[in-house]
Amino acid sequence: MYAIVDIETTGGHATQNRITEISIFVHNGVEVIDHFETLIHPEMQIPPYIQAFTGISNEMVAHAPTFAQVANRIYEVLKDQIFVAHNVNFDHSFIKHQLQECGYDLNVKKLCTVRLSRKIVPGYKSYSLGNICSSLGIHLQNRHRAGGDALATVKLFEYLLAQDTEKHITDSLKRGSKEQVLPPNVSKTDFEKLPKAPGVYYFVDDKGLAVYVGKAKNIRSRVGTHFSGELKGKQKQNFMREVHGFSHTATGNELLAVLLESHEIKRLWPDENRSQKRVQQIFGLYDYLDQNNKIRFGIDKVRKDSKPLLTFSTHAAALQYLNTLIDNFGLCPKLCNSQTNKADCIHVQHEICDGYCLVAENAAAYNAKAQTFFDELMADKKIHYILGKGRNYKEQCVILYEPNTFVAYTFVGINEKIDFDLVKELAISLKINPFMESVLGQVVSGEKSKGYKVFTQLKMAVL
């Protein structure tokens, strides 16, 4: 038994919009045996552009029942049927969400006539309801109203039932089939081609442009989670409409996947990515000479074309590092702009130093202390070679990282001697950013280096 459904709504996603009309045809696989249809008062204003699109006005629904008043009837019609719709996840997400609000849990199998049409009658340019019905000679009346669209979907579904010689409908209903959850414009075959391995994946639109970039330990499994569970939110509904395909880049290990994802988000700027697209205020540690030719340090916002010694994601982190620098190298808090009040230098008060800020020591003596820090900083800036798993058992990945300067990667044979100069020449560069700095800093420091080997000298290394 099938429940062939169409709804009209006040907008595109279930969490912030409501149903204005519903039509359900109950079908036994041969013919329609029951029909329920009604306008529904959405308990909110219908936007003007939606009124123009559907023809359903606020006045038309003013005396219609609310969803809560017909929820029991809708649930009873749907609960034991296979839920069928054109772009099924859209209709199902609205109805399930509003039934949940009324205390009903709709748990049914689904069939999408967009996906089924692509499989059973392939080769058409468009599979929108209007276009596929026109191509197949199915008459569609009362377009963009629930009754007209639902009746056209009934006729389309009957046509698909008759043409389904390869049992696509039966296969779609099998337990574990992804047909019920994948976007209507995505091929299950394309999904099944995704590897069960670490890497970066891309959702692309009908023009092949990336709408979302993600990383994963297991690409296929992670991609599947985007379309499982509740689909009522705006972002998931946008996915279902926009996504027409997948692509991916295998990385062999999670660290490279994290780095490549960050690089690709900055490069492609996909619509559906959020977190790493926020404008980040970065702070830098700078050095300069004062009027007494003393080397001084300070913290400031990183601006275009400025060249900080080090960068930090927050001012607090930069200040903490600067205070550690002062303590470790015997520098002056006032000359480092750590102490900004007009009082005497706190190190002078506590007899920790000899009053460098009071010009009690010549510039050369003080600068020697600062130079010690520079020497250590330059030592830390040497290139780190991070070795991790490759994309297969025959290779290993080499990530090259020079703090605050660059990051790149390549793959080499698992047992071959590594010529690090050649590796640097062949490596693919990524545009370094503060997020990458943070991740790589934890690996280089040993904080999160499990599964990786870090080298800082040009010598043979085998994973």
Least confident residue range of 42-56, 258-272, 421-435:
421-435
pLDDT digits (tens, 9 = 90+) for 449-462: 888 988 875 444 43
Cβ neighbourhood burial of 52 (10 Å; 0-12, 13-18, 19+): exposed
What distance in Å separates the CA atoms of residue 289 and residue 367, rounded to the nearest whole number? Answer: 10
pLDDT digits (tens, 9 = 90+) for 141-189: 888 899 999 999 999 999 999 999 999 999 888 876 666 678 888 888 8
- Which residues belong to CATH 3.30.420.10 in the chain? 2-180
Mean pLDDT value across the chain: 86
More confident residue, 236 or 247: 247
Q: Which fold has domain 188-276?
A: GIY-YIG endonuclease (3.40.1440)
Beta bridge partners of residue 202, listed in sequence order: 213, 247
Residue 398, helix vs strand vs coil? strand
Confidence of residue 233 (pLDDT cuts 50, 70, 90): low
Cβ neighbours of residue 428 closer than 8 Å, sequence gap 6 or more: 408, 409, 410
pLDDT digits (tens, 9 = 90+) for 81-92: 999 999 998 999
Decide if pLDDT at 312 tops 90: no
Q: Across residues 128-147, what is the average pLDDT?
A: 92
pLDDT (0 to 100) of residue 33:
96
Decide if pLDDT at 463 tops 60: no
Q: What's the length of the chain? A: 463
Confidence of residue 190 (pLDDT cuts 50, 70, 90): confident
> What is the model's pTM?
0.62
Decide if pLDDT at 217 tops 70: yes
Render the burial of 136-156: b for 16+ CB within 10 Å, e for the rest.
eebebeeebbbbbbbbbbbbb
pLDDT (0 to 100) of residue 230:
61
Q: Across residues 351-373, what is the average pLDDT?
A: 73
Transcribe 291-332 into DSSP letters.
Answer: TT--EEEEEEE--TT---SEEESSHHHHHHHHHHHHHHHT--
| Range among 141-145, 215-219, 415-419 with highest mean pLDDT value | 215-219
Residue 138, helix vs strand vs coil? coil
pLDDT (0 to 100) of residue 14:
84
Decide if pLDDT at 38 tops 60: yes
pLDDT (0 to 100) of residue 46:
95
Decide if pLDDT at 434 tops 60: yes
Q: Which fold has domain 2-180?
A: Nucleotidyltransferase; domain 5 (3.30.420)
Unique residue bearing structure tokens 């209903």: 173
Query: CA separation (Å) from 83 to 77, 79, 131, 165, 420?
Result: 10, 9, 22, 21, 59
Decide if pLDDT at 400 tops 60: yes
Cβ neighbourhood burial of 319 (10 Å; 0-12, 13-18, 19+): middle
- Which residues belong to CATH 3.40.1440.10 in the chain? 188-276
What distance in Å separates the CA atoms of residue 211 and residue 302, rounded to the nearest whole number? Answer: 30
Decide if pLDDT at 137 tops 60: yes
pLDDT (0 to 100) of residue 462:
39
**Percent of the chain with pLDDT strictly greater than 70:** 90
pLDDT (0 to 100) of residue 218:
96
What distance in Å separates the CA atoms of residue 253 and residue 216, rounded to the nearest whole number? Answer: 9
What distance in Å separates the CA atoms of residue 318 and residue 311, rounded to the nearest whole number? Answer: 8
Radius of gyration over alpha carbons of the chain, in Å? 31
Decide if pLDDT at 341 tops 80: no
**Which DSSP helix (H) or strand (E) runs through 261?**
helix 254-268
Decide if pLDDT at 68 tops 90: yes
Decide if pLDDT at 20 tops 90: yes
Confidence of residue 280 (pLDDT cuts 50, 70, 90): low
